[in-house]
Amino acid sequence: MKNLLGNSVKELEIVALNYGQAAFRGRQIYNWIYNYRNKNKNIDQIEVLPLDFRKKLKEDGFKISELSLQEKNLAIDGTLKLLLSTSDNESIECVGIPTEKRLTACLSSQVGCPMDCKFCATGKDGLKRSLKASEILDQILFIENEMNRKVTNIVFMGMGEPLLNIDELLLSIRSINEDFQISQRKVTVSTVAVPRMIRKLSEKSFQILGKCQFTLAISLHASNQKIRETIIPSAKNYQIKNIIRDSKQFVRDTGRRVSFEYLMLRGVNDQAEHANELSNLLRGFQCHVNLIQYNQIDEVEFRRVSLKNLQLFQSTLTNNGITVSLRKSRGLDKNAACGQLRQNARNK
C-alpha cells in the first residue's frame, strides 16, 4: 500500500512527475492533504487534479488514509475520543483535547502496549504491533476533521510505548513539524522509560530531524524503585537511579528540560514522605514534575487522590525547590483514560 500522507512536497512532486504530470500537481496534493478544512481525505476528493490522474493513483494503490472511524465519544468538557480501525482490523485510540487557544492531539504509537502498567487499560491485551508513521499522522487528520479545527499541539501519550517504535515516531514528528507546521516545541513524547532508549532517542532525533526540540516526558509515577516495580512491572529492568542519570544526559545533549509524569494513586505514592523522596531524587537538574489526577477505570483497583492531598503534595515539592504543575484530567465522563474505549469495544 502506498500512502501519500507523510510525504514531503518534493516527494509528492516526484509522484506527479512519474505519472507524466507537472510538478505543481504534487504541490496541489500536498496542500490539499494538510489543509484541515478539506474533509474526507481520499484521492477522489482532490478535485483540482485531473480525473485520469486521480484514477491512476487509485488503481496503483495510492491512499491518503488507511484508518476508519469506528466510534467516537464527546465529553462534557469538549474532549473528543476516537476509536479508529486499521486496515488489518485492529483498533487504536486518539483524543482531541480543546481549549480556547489550542487543540492538543493525544496520539497512539502502537496497537496495544507491552509495558503492562497496572493502572492502565491499554496493556491488558499486550502488544499487537507498532504503527506506521502514516497511521500515526492519520490520527491527526481524524481529530481535525471531527473537531473542525487545526491541531496545534501533539502529545504521544496514547496507546503504546513510543520508544519501542522510535523510527516511525521520529518520521511522524518530522511530518508534524514540516508538513502540519507544528513546532517541535509543541510536541511531547511520553515514555515509561526503556533501557538505553533515552540516549538513542536524542541521537536518532539529530540524525532524522536535524534537531531535538520536543519535550521528553517520563512516566515515573513513583519516588523509589520498590513502589515503581509494583505499578510498572517493566521497571525491574531499569532502575530509577539510572532513569534519572539518563535523563540528565538527555538534558545535556539537547538543552531541553525533562518532564516527569507522576500519577497520584491513593495510598500508593501520595504521602508527604513520597513528595520529599521525589524531591531528593530530582533536585539539581533541569526538570519539571506533572502531577496527574488518576482517571479511574473499573478493571484495576487504584483510586483517585483527593484534590486536597494532591495540592498538599504539590506544595511540598514546590517548597523543596522542584518545579511542579497540576495536570487536570479531561474527558472523565467518557472513558478517556488510555485503552478504555478500545477495551469497551472489545467487550461488546
Catalytic residues: 93, 338
Q: For strand 62-63 and strand 2-3, is the pairing parallel, antiparallel, or unpaired?
A: parallel
Phi, psi angles (nearest 5°) of residue 176: -55, -40
Q: For strand 324-327 and strand 287-293, is the pairing parallel, antiparallel, or unpaired?
A: parallel
Which whole-number Å values give the CA distances from 143 to 118, 170, 193, in the listed order? 28, 20, 27
Q: Would you give the distance in Å from CA 224 to the centre of its chain?
A: 26
Q: What is the DSSP-derived secondary structure letter of residue 237?
A: G
CB atoms within 10 A of CB 24: 11
Give me the DSSP letters along 118-164.
TT-SGGGG-EEEEPPHHHHHHHHHHHHHHHTS---EEEE-SSS-GGG
Phi, psi angles (nearest 5°) of residue 89: 65, 30
Which whole-number Å values give the CA distances from 179 to 61, 87, 174, 184, in the listed order? 22, 24, 8, 12
Phi, psi angles (nearest 5°) of residue 111: -90, 110
